[in-house]
Structure 1
Amino acid sequence: MRPIRTTLLACLSIAAISAAQAQSQPPLKLGAILDMSGLYADITGTGSETAAKMAAEDFGGTVLGRKIEIIAADHLNKADLAASIARDMIDNQGVEAIIDVAASATALAAGEIAKARNKIIMYSGPGSVRLSNEACGPYTIHYSYDTFAQANVAGLASVKQGLDTWFFLSADYAFGQDLERDTTNVVKASGGKVLGSVKHPINTSDFSSFLLQAQSSNAKVIGLANAGGDTINAIKQAAEFGITRKGGQKILPLLAFITDIDSIGLETAQGLLIAGAFYWDMNDETRAFSKRFMERTKRVPTSAQAGLYSETMHYLQAVKAAGTTDAAAVMKKMKEAPINDFFARNGKIREDGRMVHDMYLFEVKKPSESKGRWDYYKLLATVPGDQAFQPLSASRCPLVKN
């Protein structure tokens, strides 16, 4: 009994020392800059904050003797506010790394602040391919998806089905512009044609004039280069106008999340092709994480939220391996380590900061095929990362030597 008691006392002493060290050291803070109240709130928002906190908890709550803290702020979809928040987080709040920065314009603004201060910034919610091209940096990681991969997976599949004439409805900011451009390149390279496009302001409630222009083009596909509430409104209004049912045109959301499909409803969304980085019901691992996430949020995770968990965990593992929070040392470890978890398969962070991993093509189920809420997708294809994402040889990142 005495050796067991001695061992127990030793373990308790070690635990007490570790706890004391964690209390004496300043916390390691990660700053999430999110859309908490706007048209991307369901995609990122409080769900992304929850995902990051889950990663911190699952990691053990501390690293290098420091308590892990997640702090979050709402950028209100304003680029100048996102930059101001990033500056305050780093300069005044002691944040070691910034995570997510939902929406591309806000991400580009916050990214410049992080680069100027040599801090790691990891994007999960924003999609603009510029983040790993012209706006790349030595400590920048674009994690979950981007406009190139979305266009390459969904656009290419559509053209192969004979949907070879396109008209775009695009959000008038960095993300929409990049998504339209990347999809246009895929359509033309595959032998298709773009018959026209129209740009709409972010957070548009009335798409009638834009949809009428798309309808009059007689294009086989109306490509939606937008996201969140804009995608939801455009699809609902296209159904109300009978564009797909009467006119035979196909609506293709180039970026749609499962929360969007939930808002639209299967009766309207059935048959849509969806390119995505993650689906909650793919395997036992995705279901296990999603079950825990749902217990906290009452909804399944989007790919942006699942990606945020994964990138946070990968960062913390790199900090532990590096034995420091120094950005250069941590980034080296992040790029060296492969990523294989419930979110990513065959994942690796390239020199341009792009995290390359398998992507998926889904089709939205008919109401008769669904077993209940959130059972929305059928997997059509798995696209390997080196085929889905922009090849490194085509990179416009100044860090890449082509």
Structure 2
Amino acid sequence: MTFKKTLLAASLSTLAITGLAQAKGISDNEIRIGYIADMSGTYSPLAGPNGLIAAEMAIADFGGKVKGKNITIVAADDQNKPDIGANKVREWIDTNNIDLVAGMVSSAVTIAVNKVVEAKDKLSIVSGSASSSITNQYCTANSVHYVYDTYALAHGTGEAVVKEGGDTWFFLTADYAFGHAMEGDVTAVVNQSGGKIVGGVRHPLATSDFSSFILQAQASGAKIVGLANAGADTINALKTAKEFGVVASGQKIAGLLVFLHDVKSLGLETTQGLQLTTGFYWDRTPETRAWSKQFYAKTGSMPTMVHAGIYSSTMHYLKAVEATGTDDAKTVLAQMKKTPINDFFATNGSIRDDGRMIHDMYLAEVKKPSESKGEWDLFKILRTIPADKAFRPLSESQCKLVAAK
């Protein structure tokens, strides 16, 4: 093929793609977002009602319209149950023509919802779920995993703890997809670093009594008790560990998914010195402080990394819709993937072929009471984990989208 013919073919292809996007336009003359998360249970502080407010802030800051078309949002409580989440999203798409599904915390719910979204050729942006399997063996061509995952948490916190001498581990693991993925990712890190897993126990979601689990952890003799759980489960486990004198007796606790609100709830006296990995901290830069103060004014609370990620991802989505002039899922996602993300939330952000949004992560440590200068002055950032080091490399991916390349 001659150069002119090649150039002509490329131009026609570009025109065809552009024309397709323009032809599809904004369906129903409205951008519709469905926000689904645990709104009242174990994980509600992580995203919950305040995550909905974060999404509404993004919509308002964008101007409430795209290309003159209104942006609307509806919300539902998935109760951490995959069937409820999947059925609600199917109903939204079938009856309301929802364009984007946002939020999502329980990994089991997310995996179920993403199957519906893929089958209906819509788009989902996952901000609250942790399981790295979402963009690995369960990846889809219609979803983005935005804020963090178990691989990043394991390689941030796990590596740091082992390097400091914590080379024998006992796990307290939430018995569902997230907990299993977290335990698996941390186990790989510990083994690679020369450590050893000496035991573990799995507990049901929303466990109130951790006494027997903590006793097993103490009896194991492990230097580190790894908490592969989140939300109220992490809080209850840490409270029980304090009551049983786990740290006082010489063991250390690794909170593998610890949020700002967990530390606030437990207090610095209980959590001081705890290391954790996070994708966002409200007091890290002037930009994070400015946005977080706006969020606080609306909620009375400083944001978790999930709240910040929901705002950022919603804004990134709306910019892609504006740039393409359509709400067609594949067209919008292609635009999102080719557009770098650098805002108050993400540094060096980009969306890969597997749907994983990679960005810098941070190893943090909970301050001592004497170091804190205010109610929400809880973390100090120890180091930055670069985007290309924080998340699972594509060379290790099991995602069908990567293998097809």
Please name the residue that 1:89 is paired with. 92
Q: Secondary structure at the match of 1:67?
A: strand
Aligned counterparts of 2:377 and 2:118: Cα–Cα separation in 1: 41
Which piece of structure 1 moves more, 87-96 or 49-58?
87-96
Q: Secondary structure at the match of 1:252?
A: strand
Aligned counterparts of 1:112 and 1:311: Cα–Cα separation in 2: 20
Please name the residue that 1:318 is paired with. 320
Q: Is the 8 A contact 1:236 1:264 kept in 2?
A: yes
Residue 43 (structure 1) aligned to one of 43, 46, 63: 46
Q: Is the 8 A contact 1:351 1:399 kept in 2?
A: yes
The answer to whether structure 1 residue 352 and structure 2 residue 351 are counterparts is no
Aligned counterparts of 1:277 and 1:192: Cα–Cα separation in 2: 26
Please name the residue that 1:177 is paired with. 180
1:2-401 to 2 correspondences below 5 Å: 26-245=29-248, 247-401=249-403
Give me the TM-score of the superposition, normalised by structure 2.
0.92
Residue 196 of structure 1 deviates from its aligned partner by: 0.5
Q: Secondary structure at the match of 1:73?
A: strand
One-letter amino acid of the structure 2 residue matched with residue 100 of structure 1: G
Identity over aligned pairs, percent: 54
Aligned counterparts of 1:304 and 1:372: Cα–Cα separation in 2: 22
Residue 190 of structure 1 deviates from its aligned partner by: 0.4
Aligned counterparts of 1:173 and 1:363: Cα–Cα separation in 2: 27
Q: What is the CA deviation profile of residues 38-85 of structure 1, one whole-angstrom value per residue up to 9, with x for unaligned ones?
A: 011111111100000000011111002211112111001111000011
Q: Is the 8 A contact 1:266 1:367 kept in 2?
A: yes
Aligned counterparts of 2:277 and 2:145: Cα–Cα separation in 1: 17
Q: Secondary structure at the match of 1:109?
A: helix
Aligned counterparts of 2:179 and 2:211: Cα–Cα separation in 1: 19
> Which 4+ runs in 1 deviate beyond 6 A?
none
Q: Secondary structure at the match of 2:400?
A: coil
Please name the residue that 1:14 is paired with. none
Aligned counterparts of 2:310 and 2:201: Cα–Cα separation in 1: 32
Corresponding pairs, count? 378
Q: Is the 8 A contact 1:359 1:385 kept in 2?
A: yes
Aligned counterparts of 2:392 and 2:103: Cα–Cα separation in 1: 21
Residue 100 of structure 1 deviates from its aligned partner by: 1.5
One-letter amino acid of the structure 2 residue matched with residue 292 of structure 1: Q
Q: Is the 8 A contact 1:266 1:376 kept in 2?
A: yes
Q: Is the 8 A contact 1:64 1:324 kept in 2?
A: no
Aligned counterparts of 1:38 and 1:99: Cα–Cα separation in 2: 18
Q: What is the CA deviation profile of residues 97-127 of structure 1, one whole-angstrom value per residue up to 9, with x for unaligned ones?
A: 1012111011111111001001111100001
Please name the residue that 2:18 is paired with. none
Residue 25 of structure 1 deviates from its aligned partner by: 6.3
One-letter amino acid of the structure 2 residue matched with residue 336 of structure 1: K
Residue 26 of structure 1 deviates from its aligned partner by: 3.5
One-letter amino acid of the structure 2 residue matched with residue 365 of structure 1: K
Residue 385 of structure 1 deviates from its aligned partner by: 1.2
Aligned counterparts of 1:178 and 1:90: Cα–Cα separation in 2: 29
Residue 290 of structure 1 deviates from its aligned partner by: 0.4
Structure 1: runs of 5+ lacking an equivalent: 1-23
Aligned counterparts of 1:65 and 1:200: Cα–Cα separation in 2: 50
Q: What is the CA deviation profile of residues 258-314 of structure 1, one whole-angstrom value per residue up to 9, with x for unaligned ones?
A: 011111111101110011000000011000000000001000010011001010000
Q: Secondary structure at the match of 2:205?
A: coil
Q: Secondary structure at the match of 1:399?
A: helix
Q: What is the CA deviation profile of residues 123-166 of structure 1, one whole-angstrom value per residue up to 9, with x for unaligned ones?
A: 00001111101111111100000000000100000001111110
